[in-house]
Amino acid sequence: MTRPVVPAALTAALLGTVLLAACNRDTPAPVAPAPQPPAPEAPAAPEPPAPARVTSVELGNAVDGENRVATPASEFATTDTIYASVGVDGETAAKLTARWTYGEGQLVRNTDTDIPAGPDVVAFDIQHPDGWPTGTYKLEVLLDDTVVETREFAVR
Taking CA atoms, 77 is separated from 33, 53, 108, 124, 126, in Å, by 87, 31, 16, 18, 13
The neighbouring-strand residues paired with 137 are: 102, 153
Q: Which CATH number fits domain 53-155: 2.60.40.10, 3.90.1010.10, 3.40.50.450, 3.40.50.1110?
A: 2.60.40.10
Looking at residues 118-147, what average pLDDT do you find? 97
- pLDDT tens figures, 37-75: 888 888 888 888 999 999 999 999 999 999 999 999 999
- pLDDT tens figures, 85-123: 999 999 999 999 999 999 999 999 999 999 999 999 999
Note the pTM of the prediction, 2 decimals: 0.71
CB atoms closer than 10 angstroms to residue 10: 9
Contact yes or no for 78/131 (Cβ under 8 A): yes
Q: What CA–CA distance (Å, rounded) separates 13 from 17?
A: 6
